[in-house]
Structure 1
């Protein structure tokens, strides 16, 4: 992983955390055996925190020597809470971390490396595993994964004279136009024009064209020919009136997908449930498909990993609990509780995960999905890309100009 410059706040947090770790010598030297009586502390984010508490109660019944204390942490405060805990040497035994966090905390030296003999890459989706890997060392075990696929209205496509999902960029733009012209939709495709994390909407274009922001050697390649090509294609939807240039904060595409104003969007697995429960009138009138390809069909990978504090005296019990959560059975159970996609590939071999056609699309997309680089200040870097995308979608710069500027800004964040 190529290191990046940190903000002053992060530098202060890093210095404090490293001082604490150094003073403690990594762990207390009094580590507790896995089968001894003990309390395991776990932080999990958002809805996962609430659901994990239910799993913990059942796990305690099977392991009466163990108490598992799960603390739900809101995503809006999760980063600051983790930074503060790391600085004070008070991280929980186990913490859930998204890919955008893991590089930072691995760099702080507060995470225990994963035992790769027990937890093996072959058991997980490649992109899920890569999110926990930093400089060749693995610090997080994949817990669940996420990717984006294309949702499209099949009934409106048929009205527009199209009877199959678009397979490539040419077919995607043709269908977007046909929806407007022949099916009377307001827009052809919903993609984000600007604002925080616009890059996530852009990733399916960038990655499918073979582009990246920073390559595996740490070189900034956000202005490569592939990236420019992807941003030109992305911007064309706004230039031609196929996508809305002005989308309010917090916009929920589900309603407009239901009423037909928006016939296509890139969405995650949770949208299946939102559509089934919130838009029952269009049941059987929509489908999901892999991201339309350019050089290939490649979507973004997201999700969360489970990490162990380097200073935890309960590493053995923590490893046992993580093994339970990431096992085939544990992953299938977690999907039934949360609809989070399993990171363990064998969990997809039975039950609804094996039989549901929509889920099979997600599984296939995950096999080629690409993880963001595990960089300590990834959010600062992607903010520059967000700005570049907005310049193009609002007609204020060409793709070459916007990405050239972004490259200069990002190179200023990267340590040479």
Structure 2
């Protein structure tokens, strides 16, 4: 997709009517303090180096300002490589933006720098977020992170390579997945199952397998439990049934980064891997006939699937609570949420926008992702320790797949590091 936004932006009144609600919204109306300028720092989602993110925010803020003459919005777009660091530098210098659309919120919430969601949003808007995203946006039981864009992961497979290998169905258990990978290898596929556990995004690939194996990174009371017996068993299966038999391709999983695995899939060299909507679009543009199903569990349906989200938040520093609230109520109208999701091949973070996208024939290829998101599990982004734990996973998890490596020892080492980081929260 990657096109500039051309759909009309709707105002707060129209958005509320679309939701069938007539509540008095907390953020709208005159500010009572003259003109206010909000400083927004936002991430650039245009992977092709274009201007679609800039155009999106320009159109949205122009329409917002027309309906809220007392509020101006100054937009600063930064690349994903820089945006989190630049916001951190602004905050450290005592010059926090009013609004930041970035990758993490927990540290700022822990420092008391953010407005809570119920201080900013009208009740209809706050209650419209998908439940897993609301839960992931909470720090110590209070929501500070507002989910701006979402995605989930599915098992992708190359239909042409499946047909050439004589595979007529899709895997419904881990054993069937391994059997299909063997058939793909026998037919000459370079990467029967691409398993990217390299340092780029190993924490995501790891979580997908842990969830499909029955647990995840945390236990029932939200404490790290990375070396649980279920997690050890899941990774021992990966090592013994996929890696050791040579079913993961010529690059060791600990050295294979996601971007390289995805590039190989678009070249038609990968039989199966875990992918997201943007990869689907990229592969189809290169002529790959993409199939997609949910990653199976060990004995059948997986016990959980992974979701991800990016966040938008309001900083307290300048005292612009009402103005930020008005802006957020506008940002999360169905039309604006859908425009951004459609532009970037992402999933809407709200119930009503998700329902609208699911009904849209233009986006029929996203329905499997939409179905998976409401019951997905996100990484523990509400923990201030998560950034450090995520880096530890990226650096160390690949060792579990090395010849002579110990899954139990590797997960125990990571869990020990996580416990130390958690104790320092």
Q: Using the alignment, how far apart are the partners of 2:33 and 2:174 within structure 1? A: 55
In structure 2, the CA distance between the partners of 1:54 and 1:228, relative to structure 1 (3 Å rule), is same
Per the alignment, residue 76 of structure 1 pairs with 81
Please list, as runs of the form range in 1=range in 2, the aligned pairs for 1:112-151 lying within 5 A after superposition: 112-115=115-118, 118=123, 122-151=127-156
Correspondent of 2:312 among 284, 306, 313: 306
Residue by residue over 1:196-226, the C-alpha shift from the partner in whole angstroms, topping out at 9 and shown as x without a partner, is 4312111111012222223353433111111
Residue 260 of structure 1 and its aligned partner are, at CA, apart by: 2.9
CA distance in 2, matches of 1:184, 1:160: 9
Contact 1:45 1:74 in 2 (8 A): yes
Deviation of 1:125 (Å): 2.0
Aligned partners of 1:395, 1:120: CA distance in 2, in Å? 51
Among 205, 211, 217, which residue is 2:209 paired with?
205
Identify which of 19, 41, 44 aligns with 1:43. 41
Report whether the alignment pairs 1:169 with 2:174.
yes
Matched, 1:362 2:369: yes
Instruction: Give the Cα separation in 2 of the matches to 1:38 and 1:189.
Output: 54
Query: TM-score when scaled to structure 1?
Result: 0.83
Give the conservation status (yes or no) of the 8 Å contact 1:189–1:263: yes
- Secondary structure class of the residue paired with 2:101: strand
Range that drifts further, 120-129 or 163-172: 120-129
**Displacement of 1:156 after TM fit?**
1.9
Q: Deviations over 1:92-132 (max 9, x none)?
A: 1111132xx21111111100111176256652222221221
Cα separation, partners in 2 of 1:223 and 1:164, compared to 1, 3 Å:
same
CA distance in 1: counterparts of 2:356 and 2:270, whole angstroms: 34
Secondary structure of residue in 1 paired with 2:307:
strand
Instruction: Provide structure 1 residue ranges, at least 5 long, that are not aligned to the other structure.
Output: 1-31
Q: Which runs of 5+ in 2 are unaligned?
A: 1-29, 47-52
Aligned length: 379
Inter-partner Cα distance in structure 1 for 2:196 and 2:207:
11
SS of alignment partner, residue 400 of structure 2: helix
Distance 1:353 1:105, change over 3 A: farther
Q: Is the 8 A contact 1:287 1:358 kept in 2?
A: no
Distance 2:304 2:387 in 1: 21
Shift of 1:242: 0.9
- The yes-or-no answer on 1:111 pairing with 2:114 is yes
C-alpha distance in 2 between matches for 1:137 and 1:219: 18
| Equivalent in the alignment of 1:264 | 272
- Report deviation, 1:339: 2.4
Contact 2:41 2:87 in 1 (8 A): no
Where in structure 2 are the equivalents of 1:380-395 lying within 5 Å? 380-395=388-403
Deviation (angstroms), 1:75: 2.2
The corresponding residue for 1:232 is 236
CA distance in 2, matches of 1:121, 1:63: 21
3-state DSSP class of the match of 2:292?
strand
